[in-house]
Structure formats: C-alpha cells, structure tokens
Amino acid sequence: MLLPESRIILEISSLSRLRQSAWITNSPPSRATTWGILTGMVKFQSKGTTSDATTLIFDANGPYQGEEQSDGSIRINPIAGLATIMQPFKLIVEDQQTDGGFILWMARFLGRDEIIKAYRAGRFVFHHAGGKGQIVKSAEAISAGVWARPGQPISLAKHRSAAVLDSDADHEGHAPNANIATAAESHVAFVHVLRGRTIENYIPESYFRKRLAADGLSSFSDAFFRMLHDQQLFFPIKTGFRAKVKNGPRPTHSEFVSDPERPRLLRDLYGSVAPVDWGALVGGLGERLATVYTETRYRCEPSDAPRLPQDVSREINTLLTNILRHL
C-alpha cells in the first residue's frame, strides 16, 4: 500500500479480524503501529481505476506458492503475497521501444494519466519479447521462471503480467496470430490482440499526415484517408501489397481485385479503392510511421482525443483499463 502509484485496495471488512488477532494484540510496539498504518490507508480513496482484478487472501497458514479458491481468489502466505504484489506489472510486447511507445502515447492521447504515472513510478514496465514468435516463451519465463521451481511464489507471476500483440489481420475475421494468443493465455493475466493490423494503423490522421509530410509523402496520406475506416484499419502499411515474386511488378488495382489466389474477403475489402489512389498506396511505407510513438516532435495532446474513431477509442480504453485493473 505504500508503494508509489499503487492502486491496490485493502478490503475493509478484514480489519476488525486483524485488530483482534494475536499478531496485533501480542505484538511488540513496532508491529502494533501496523494497525495505524492500515487504518490510515483504508481512508485513502484511490482516484481512477483501481487494481481489483485479483484478490489475495493473506493467511499465515496459507501456502507459499498460493492456492486458488473456488471464487477465484488466491489464499497465500503473507510474505509470498507481499513479494508478489511488490513486483511491477509487466506488459509483454513484440518491441519495447515502439509498442511501449504506442501504449504510453495512447494513454496520453486519451487522458489516461494513471498509466503514465504508474510507468514513471516503476509499477508498470514493458517486457521486450523480440517479435511475436517470442511472446509465448517470454510469458512462460515470467510465469514459471527459466528454471522452473514448483512451490515458489513465481507461480503467481502470471497475475503480474499480460501480453499485447498486433493482429496482422488482412480483414475482419482474419486471425493469423490466434494460436500465439491462445498459447500465451495460460501464462499471463490476459492477452490483447489488436483488432487493427498493426500499431501504425491506429495513428490519428493529423499525426499520420505530419509524419509523412516530413518525408515528402503527403500523397500517401491523401490516398490513405480517402479509404474507408476498415480499409485503413487493415491496410498493410509497412509492406503494402507487394508483388508475389521478389522485385516483381506490384499489382495494379484491377489485377489485385481479380486475382483468384487472394482471399475473396481481402479483394472485396479494397475493391472500392480508386485506382489512382492504389498507385500511391500499393508499395507501403516501411517502418517509418512507428516513430510517431517514440519521437518527441510527434508527442500528442489529450485535447486531440475526439479525433480518434469511436471504435478505436473504445478498444484502446478497454485495454488501458485492463492494465490498470491488474497493477
């Protein structure tokens, strides 16, 4: 409760039992002050979202590794319980720099300062997986340890971590990373797979345009924002629709929408794109757009939040709330 930016709640009804326990009544003066500390913390009302996703029941006779109860709460030895909640909450991401930047950028953009304060206080950290192929390994290492030791409180570490990854989806209903998410779920508190293709697909228009204008690519921005919302959300910004053979010609719009080897839903999604815009879009942009989330000159202002599409704002706010509930 004394950790900076801690959002953990002490359940009030437990205090009467604690006050009457031998641990307090037969304690030395130094321990007796614990009662005053606890009652003082109960009076404190945490602002914003509280960390209520997991309930720990501290029990002097509880197992050191923790024991899940029928109601989902965890009965645990107090020392092991304290060791667990004193650890920062870890968010496993493919790339700490860009994906971590995305989370903090969106928190600032949506006015969720609780996230940024928790990060600066060290209560919330990013864990670099080094690509989506390493997400599951990272989750396993956090929850069980590199050298697994049954009976240790590290088995509770899954409640102190989560994972976020791109969907890499071509269209609504396409889920190429579903197996990764499913495999990671048993090792972390939750997994969030972005609905959109990548974090770059979430950049608001004004910042998207500002970044590309710096490279003389305003024509790409113009073509991109003439597309429909779902076309923008699933467009492969990094790669575009490159040729099937290395260094081969990029498909024209008519070639793309009539290609039987491409999924029908993919072709239908981009069927309405104007051929003239297709020429500007088809080659993609490479990695450049992610710098919006990391470079100071593209730092966002919360006053711009209404410019984020409602479905995107709703998704990201849900993700940020879920993180806060596990801090």
pLDDT of residue 227: 97
Name 163's Cβ contacts closer than 8 Å, sequence gap at least 6. Answer: 91, 92, 93, 129, 135, 138, 139, 181, 184, 188, 190, 191, 192
User: Nearest Cα to 160, choosing from 33, 5, 71, 53?
Assistant: 53
DSSP H or E stretch at residue 8 = none
Spatial separation of the C-alpha atoms in residues 60 and 21, rounded to whole Å: 11
Beta strands in 111-219 (DSSP E): 124-128, 161-165, 191-193
2-17 burial: b if 16+ Cβ within 10 Å, else e: eeebbbbbeeeeeeee
SS3 call for 274: coil
Tens digit of each residue's pLDDT (9 = 90 or more) over 101-140? 999 999 999 999 999 999 999 999 999 999 999 999 999 9
Percent of the chain with pLDDT over 90: 64
pLDDT of residue 291: 97
- At 243, the pLDDT band (50, 70, 90 cuts) reads low
Spatial separation of the C-alpha atoms in residues 116 and 100, rounded to whole Å: 11
pLDDT of residue 138: 95
Question: For the chain, first and last CA: distance in Å?
Answer: 12
- At 163, the pLDDT band (50, 70, 90 cuts) reads very high
pLDDT of residue 82: 86
Q: How much of the chain is helix, strand and coil, in % rounded to 5?
A: 50, 10, 40
Query: What's the chain's average pLDDT?
Result: 88
SS3 call for 74: strand
Percent of the chain with pLDDT over 70: 88
Q: Is residue 134 classed exposed, middle or buried when 0-12, 13-18 and 19+ CB atoms within 10 A define those classes?
A: middle
User: Nearest Cα to 213, choosing from 278, 306, 276, 292?
Assistant: 292
Tens digit of each residue's pLDDT (9 = 90 or more) over 16-71? 777 777 777 777 776 667 767 666 666 555 557 888 899 999 888 898 888 889 99
Tens digit of each residue's pLDDT (9 = 90 or more) over 194-228? 999 999 999 999 999 999 999 999 999 999 999 99
pLDDT of residue 30: 66
The DSSP call for residue 12 is T
Answer positive or negative: Cα dihedral of 89, 301, 303, 234. Answer: negative
pLDDT of residue 60: 85
Q: Tell me the whole-structure pTM to 2 decimals.
A: 0.89
